[in-house]
Structure 1
Amino acid sequence: MTDTREQFHPENHPNDHFLLTTVVGSYKKPKWLDRARELLEDEDASFDEDDWEEATDDASRLITEEHERTGMDVICDGEMRRNEMVEYFAHLIEGYEFNGRVKVWGHNYFDKPSVVEEVEYGEEWLVDEFEFTDSVSERPVKVPITGPYTLANWSFNEVYDDEEQLAYDLADLVNEEIDRLVDAGAKYIQIDEPALATTPDDHAIVGACLDRIVDDIPEDVRVGLHVCYGDYSRIYPEMLDYPVDEYDLELCNGNYEQLDVFTEHEFTKDLALGVVDAHVAEVEPVEEIKENIVKGFEVVPPERLTVSPDCGLKLLPREVAYGKMENMVQAAREVEEELDAGEIDVGLAAPTSD
């Protein structure tokens, strides 16, 4: 397997060991951007698409710089141009329509789209977002993109015989978009499939979708898969067969109770370990995060560990989200120093399956 990680190793990195640090994707939007969206949707307001583009550019620049200040190795713009991980893409894919919000849990509502015609690729989804973020960033940029299985599973299907065929058609569209992103210079793609762990019996469908997606992606492009929530034991070790370089997993929120799942069979890919909790509005101390990072060495050695939050941070206050990222990076650098000094026993507990 091609090493896609080394290209993100900074030339001036202070330590011999290197723990890649990054984010999952979403981030709290500035309040003025939410107000700008309201103005855009207000027919009586003199606020047009050009104004909206300027506002989203400003927000993207602001959050990109905020991510960079934490010292992270790979950043993104916090998905400032996106409203929701399915709704955003459904608006851009031909064949979808919206019929109103539905209640999903508690007092939360989701503008769940319906597939009313066979899906087709329309306008580009993320190329402009990537190109702008890349132009204002001094660090490599990751591109999160919602995966086809989640796009299918979180939609009403009114056309296809089954959800599986819808997911495969959507996978072809995701493949087309990623081809365009790669042509634009993207080197780190993260496919988000939160629906996988909640419907694990369909893991073979997700694998077939990923085969379609990465079919023609160059070997030097890093592909990660983000899976949150759920019972990982129902998809592991089968998920190791997926054609991705890295698995980004939410384990901190569950106090790492599922960590043992990944030591029963050798973890053969890179692990992006969630080391701060995206659901708790308190900044974890550096020492606590360091302890979480070291837990990852029970699954993979340092050269295959990525350090990240559990999930997107959009539900947290910005100052809390920033504090989590800043402490996360400091913790990673301190763990690197201790690895260099031989003060940490990696203790890789990953026996082979035989």
Structure 2
Amino acid sequence: MAQVPSSVLGFPRMGKLRDLKKATEAYWADKITREQLLEEGVRLRKEHWQIQQAAGVDIIPSNDFSFYDQVLDHHQLFGTVPELYSTTEPKLHPLDEFFAMGRGHQKNGVDVPALEMVKWFDSNYHYVKPVLKKDQEFKLSQAPKPVAEFNEAKALGITTRPVLLGPVSFLHLAKNAHGESFERVSLVEKLANVYKELLDQLKAAGATDVQIDEPILVYDLPQNVKDAFKAAYEIVGKSDLKITVATYFGDIVHNIEVLQHLQKVHAVHIDLVRNPEQLNQVIEKLGPKQVLSAGVVDGRNIWKTNFKAAIDKVEAAIQKLGKDRVVVATSSSLLHVPHTLESEKKLDPEVRDWFSFAVEKAKEVAVIAKAINNGPASVAAELEANAKSVQSRATSKRTNDPKVKARQEGVTEAMHNRQSPFTTRIAEQTKSIKLPLFPTTTIGSFPQTQQIRVQRNKFTKGEITAEEYEKFIENEIQEVVKLQEELDLDVLVHGEPERNDMVQYFGERLDGYVFTTHAWVQSYGSRCVRPPIIVGDISRPAPMTVKESKYAVSISKKPMKGMLTGPITCLRWSFPRDDVHQSVQAQQLALALRDEVVDLETAGVKVIQVDEPALREGLPLRTGSARDAYIKWAVNAFKLSTAGVQDGTQVHSHFCYSEFQDFFHAIAALDADVLSIENSKSDAKLLQVFTNEEYPRHIGPGVYDIHSPRVPSEEEIKERIEQMLEHLKPEQLWVNPDCGLKTRTTEQVKAQLTSMVNAAKFFRQKYAQ
């Protein structure tokens, strides 16, 4: 009798205790050898395959591991490394070449910047954008990583399904080399032939299946990109492997005609968590023998799967296709959730029972498949426990706060608007803040040193008192303020030494949140975040940042900037509730932040930055009514949080990794007095939109990349400012880094900011004359 297999589309890489982060950073710091780093990769892959095998997962992925980014892996895999990195003198080892593309390299006479990094669809994961030339040639690497890792698992007795980013998505998600204008999908047949070569090697190694991710099918695609699937899969489909084409993060109904180009593939995977309504339409377009991979376990959020609802979805597919044509799967890779709930010993047992992380989700897909194959009685205990968890969450008093709901009901339209228009406000701010032309500032955070982390850990463990910790934080603020004064920055920050993370810090101080100890998720490279979890209605019981900002104001005569994370970013970079619409959660966050903004102003903080780097990330992936609705409630949330202050208080907001050319009207609608944006790796493309739209307010395009340890020269920054002045008026332009300085060392920051301030002073003097 046919059995429904279980499948995981990808597993987190970092390890239970961020093992990969620690190893890669040790390698970058020359504390371990290349061989030791590679050995750690072998250990982690083995551990993760065996976890999934023990959970009872039938189809286990390989090649989902990366030392930095899976898209960047494909650059080396298909021989598309830009010459800047492949022709250095001295020549870089392939691993160092790989890292150089991801984070830049400034060592042993080699000085190259990082490639552009952008958000992976609407997630908080960042991928490194491939760069392709019009005459691009593709060549399979000599020891292809997918083959090597398949063999590695095979030696352990585990037959895996290698995962690849599909040829059409690879081309679509890339960008053209500087100055070149061409359609990247015109390269699809050349690239597909190299994919076919890779699949043949996998077949020879003993692989029977391969997963090819084509996530761009959830986008609105131009016709030539849709047509590229036909060209690609006529070639790729000749492989003897069983190919599963995987999509996620949305529905594919609007691209349903592409399925006719995928008739040679074995299976199609769809995300039935994000868009369950696409099920019937996709089934109707499948070929007569094609399999449906049903993504019913959420790969993006931490809530326990409702087994009954998931089983119903799978059974609905079986009714139409039969058991032999259905797979139970995660909705996407589990890259976006923490490693295991077992590490969380301090969580309240009530809410802990509502959660499921990657290890637990692997078990969930196996349980669902077992329930379908062997009947509910075979997993009766699991089903009963799951039903109790779901019911407990639905009825818990922790999720509903009548006071929060009453306050939301009292929100008026007027509460979303500042007292006066920008022209009035900027005149008032010029009087009260007194800034020079080309004012300099930073985005907020300064280096989180080992000493800061040690003292925070001691305080968390109760090894030092609150008074001792507060004194330590005050000393750190003094040092950061002193450094900025020595560097002669114009608007200072307190450096955020007390903050563990720009969202978690606020989550820990708001009712309605819970936070974890080890629930780390990869954001980019070795950078991990520990998203707080929204479990109920949100409110602010007390001021969150006022004490530190007020202290910073007291020790400097220069303007001090208060730093907050905006409501949409707090929402997007948390694990949100899935039982209440996100607009409701955003408004609750906005009201809490509104109180904080007003309190900062009262404390003497004249410049307040409310960061919204995730605003673009939350935009629905397709145009239409859903996108319009999102923009309306997201913009309103930001304005509600910032509109309670006087005209003389200057509101800033920061955006990074936002390709917002198609989103500009929303950025403008925020009505922030000053915007700062990531720009240093964007070839000034973001600036053109400010010219086109005649943006009236002030803007600080980042003049150097803080994600790279390299130090830009003063001349390099002058060149960037010169480019900016082609698009912006001198009186509009602020000079600042791309983002916060948290991940850099103090020595790097001093050198980087010295170049920046000197460059700003050069233009200040030039335009004063």
Q: TM-score by structure 1 length? A: 0.89
Distance in 2, Cα, partners of 1:23 & 1:109: 22
* Distance in 1 (alpha carbons) for counterparts of 2:567 and 2:647: 21
CA RMSD between the two structures: 1.8
Is 1:80–2:505 an aligned residue pair? Answer: no
Counting only pairs closer than 5 Å after superposition, residues 197-212 of structure 1 correspond to structure 2 as 197-201=616-620, 202-212=630-640
1:181-200 deviation digits (Å, cap 9, x = unpaired): 11111110111111112233
Higher relative contact order at CA 8 Å, sep ≥6: structure 1 or structure 2? 1
Native 8 Å contact 1:253 1:278 kept in 2: no
Mapped to 2, the partners of 1:296 and 1:6 lie a distance apart of 26
| 1:44-100 alpha-carbon deviations (Å, 9 max, x no partner) | x3x221111111111111111111111011001211111100000001001111244
Of residues 674, 690, 694, the one that matches 1:246 is: 674
Q: 1:313: how far off? A: 0.9
Q: CA deviation at 1:284?
A: 1.1
| Equivalent runs, 1:179-258 vs 2, <5 Å | 179-201=598-620, 202-258=630-686
1:167 matched to 2:586: yes
Instruction: Report the residue type matching 2:678 in the other structure.
Output: E
The match for 2:452 is 33
Match of 1:271 in 2: 699
Q: Does 1:50 align with 2:475?
A: no
User: Are residues 76 and 190 of structure 1, via their aligned partners in 2, closer, same or farther at CA, if it must alter by over 3 Å?
Assistant: same
Larger-Rg structure: 2
Task: Tell me the CA shift for residue 117 of structure 1.
Answer: 2.0
Partner amino acid, structure 2, of 1:169: Q
The aligned amino acid for 2:433 is F
The answer to which structure has the higher helix fraction is: 2
Point out where structure 2 has 5 or more consecutive residues left out of the alignment.
Answer: 1-422, 621-629
- Number of the residue aligned with 1:101: 519
Letter in 2 for 1:75: L
Which one-letter code corresponds to 2:502 in the other structure?
A: M
8 Å contact kept, 1:240–1:268: no
- In 2, Cα distance between the equivalents of 1:259 and 1:129? 34
CA shift for structure 1 position 223: 0.5
Corresponding residue SS for 1:205: helix
Deviations 1:12-67 (A, max 9, x none): x6xxxx11111100110333222212222335x3x221111111111111111111
CA change 1:150–1:238 in 2 (3 A) is closer
Whole-angstrom distance in 2 between the partners of 1:291 and 1:237: 28
Distance 2:452 2:644 in 1: 37
Q: Hey, what's the Cα distance between the residues in 2 that align with 1:321 and 1:151?
A: 27
Unaligned runs of 5+ in 1: 342-354
Instruction: State which of 2, 6, 9 in structure 1 corresponds to 2:434.
Output: 9
Instruction: Return 130-139 or 296-305, whichever deviates more.
Output: 296-305
Q: 1:40, 1:216 → 2: CA distance?
A: 34
Residue 111 in structure 1 maps to residue 530 in structure 2 = yes
Other-structure match for 1:91: 508
Compare 85-94 and 293-302 and name the one that shifted more.
Answer: 293-302
Choose from 150, 166, 177 the match for 2:596: 177
What secondary structure sits across from 1:309 in the alignment? coil
- Among 308, 320, 328, the alignment partner of 2:736 is 308
Q: 2:544 touches 2:596 (CA, 8 Å); kept in 1? A: yes
Aligned counterparts of 1:144 and 1:271: Cα–Cα separation in 2: 17
> Residues 103 and 210 from structure 1, CA distance in 2 versus in 1: closer, same or farther, beyond 3 angstroms?
closer
Q: Shift of the alpha carbon at 1:160? A: 5.3
Q: Quick check: 104-113 or 224-233, which moved more?
A: 104-113
For 1:197, the aligned partner's letter is R
Counterpart contact for 2:510–2:538, Cα < 8 Å: yes
Q: Which runs of 4+ in 1 moved over 4 A?
A: none
Asked if 1 retains the 8 angstrom alpha-carbon contact of 2:448 and 2:743, the reply is: no
Give the aligned residue type for 1:231.
E
Deviation at 1:222, TM superposition (A): 0.4
Report whether the alignment pairs 1:22 with 2:450: no
How far did residue 206 of structure 1 move?
2.6
CA drift of 1:340 comes to 2.9
User: Deviation of residue 211 (structure 1)?
Assistant: 2.4
What secondary structure is seen at the aligned counterpart in 2 of 1:196? coil
Q: Per-residue CA shift, 1:103-132, capped at 9, x if unaligned? A: 234554322212222111112111101111
CA distance in 2, matches of 1:238, 1:184: 30
Q: 2:485 aligns with which of 56, 68, 71?
A: 68
The equivalent of 2:575 in structure 1 is 156
After superposition, the C-alpha distances for 1:160-188 in whole angstroms (9 at most, x for unaligned) are 52111100111011100111111111110
Does residue 1:142 correspond to 2:567, yes or no? no
Return the alpha-carbon distance in structure 1 between the equivalents of residues 681 and 541 of structure 2: 37
Offset of residue 6 of structure 1: 5.0
Q: After the TM superposition, which residues 261-340 of structure 1 pair with which residues of structure 2 at under 5 Å, given as runs? A: 261-340=689-768
- Contact persistence 1:8–1:73 (CA under 8 A): no
CA distance in 2, matches of 1:238, 1:127: 29
2-side partners of 1:313 and 1:175: how far apart? 26
Going from structure 1 to structure 2, the CA distance change for 1:297 and 1:239 (only over 3 Å counts) comes to: same
Counterpart in 2 of 1:122? 541
Would the alpha carbon gap of residues 296 and 7 (structure 1) be closer, same or farther in structure 2, given more than 3 Å must change? farther
Cross-structure match for 1:351: none
User: Residue type of the partner of 2:748?
Assistant: V
**Range with bigger deviation, 272-281 or 81-90:** 272-281
Q: Larger deviation: 121-130 or 298-307?
A: 298-307
TM-score normalised by L of structure 2: 0.42
Task: Provide Cα deviations, 1:316-352, integer angstroms capped at 9, x if missing partner.
Answer: 11111111112211111111222233xxxxxxxxxxx
